[in-house]
Amino acid sequence: MTSSDAIVVAATGVHKWFGSLHVLKGIDLSVSRGEVVCIVGPSGSGKSTFLRTINHLESINSGSILVNGDTVGYASTGDKPVAKRESRIAHSRRDIGMVFQQFNLFWHMTLLDNVSVGPRTVLGLSKNEAQDRAAELLNKVGLSEKMTSYPQSLSGGQQQRGAIARALAMEPKLMLFDEPTSALDPDMSREVVSVVEKLANDGMTMIIVSHEMSFVRRAATRIVMMNGGVVTEELRNVRVADLSKANEISAYLNATL
């Protein structure tokens, strides 16, 4: 059922040190197309760091990470990864969208420009094509009237939805979310969760690092628990599974309620 080209992310034996601190102690993770993987765990467990190694915003010291069969940051999958040049890495990042905890919308551009700058400068679309695509996506996330606004005049929830539209504008095959609602209050979180839920229903492959229970309840197909740099528990088929069977996960999630 899972042929090799339906595997979007294949991480094996990923180790990472920050100086003498061993933050990732051999992570193995395989994500198939259409899956929505929620990575949960306490602070310092390495979950955000691991997420960022997938699109090589962080390097790894050993192991390998293949995204759609491509090593994003490395020229070889041998014993010691040799980092590629940044301009080559940039090329591989087109297929991976990322949404950040602090939104990181470009504050010197309007919302429309934020969403269209990627397609225009990286994918080579014309200004009109890029703006049309941006307008469509902003409509999809409910921000049409804010197209000419600058990020500063938007609420957190609006900024995050805008950031999601910006990532989607690149037509990625994989979306990474790094604590997307952690900087938002409950109302704004709800806006973002419903956008993510819609994406999940449209079949986007997603990896979400989050404390947000709603992601788990409404979008996740798999939950991965990380603690102290390793994966400690996994729960597949979340929609139909019995949460209580996964001791660590349910203990962690119940505690965060």
Rounded distance between C-alpha atoms, residue 211 and residue 208, angstroms: 9
Candidates 5, 86, 145, 242; binder of another protein (CB under 8 A) is 86
Segment contacting another protein by CB under 8 A, of 99-107, 154-162, 184-192, 233-241: 99-107
Residue 27 identity:
I
Rounded distance between C-alpha atoms, residue 97 and residue 103, angstroms: 13
Which residues, at least 6 apart from 138, have a Cβ–Cβ distance to it below 8 Å? 111, 112, 115, 144, 146, 147, 162, 165
> How many residues line the site for another protein (CB under 8 A)?
32
Which helix or strand (DSSP H or E) is residue 121 part of?
helix 111-121
Rounded distance between C-alpha atoms, residue 236 and residue 238, angstroms: 5
Token reading at 115: 């969403």
Candidates 2, 87, 148, 237; binder of another protein (CB under 8 A) is 87
Scan for tokens 């490395």, then name that residue: 74
- Choose between 64 and 92: whose C-beta lies nearer to another protein: 92
Candidates 6, 82, 83, 90; binder of another protein (CB under 8 A) is 90
Sketch the per residue contact string, 100 through 129, with another protein: x for CB under 8 A, - otherwise: x-x-xxxxxx-------xx--xx-------
- The CA distances from residue 223 to 93, 215, 249, in Å, are 25, 10, 8
Sketch the per residue contact string, 144 through 183, with another protein: x for CB under 8 A, - otherwise: ------xxxx---------x--xx--x-------------
- Choose between 61 and 104: whose C-beta lies nearer to another protein: 104
Site for another protein in 10-39 (CB under 8 A): none
Token reading at 99: 């949404």
Scan for tokens 């094509």, then name that residue: 129
Cβ at position 256, least distance to another protein in Å: 25
- Choose between 174 and 235: whose C-beta lies nearer to another protein: 174
Residue 4 is a binding residue for another protein (CB under 8 A): no
Site for another protein in 52-81 (CB under 8 A): 55, 57
Residue 140 identity:
K
Segment contacting another protein by CB under 8 A, of 86-94, 182-190, 194-202, 210-218: 86-94
**What's the Rg (C-alpha) of the chain?**
18
- Choose between 117 and 213: whose C-beta lies nearer to another protein: 117
Residue 98 is a binding residue for another protein (CB under 8 A): yes
Cβ at position 117, least distance to another protein in Å: 6
Give the burial class of 42: count Cβ atoms within 10 A of its Cβ; 0-12 exposed, 13-18 middle, 19 or more buried.
middle
Cβ at position 98, least distance to another protein in Å: 4
- What are the CB-based long-range contacts (under 8 Å, 24+) for 124-127? none
Per CB under 8 A, residues contacting another protein are 55, 57, 86-87, 90-94, 96-98, 100, 102, 104-109, 117-118, 121-122, 150-153, 163, 166-167, 170
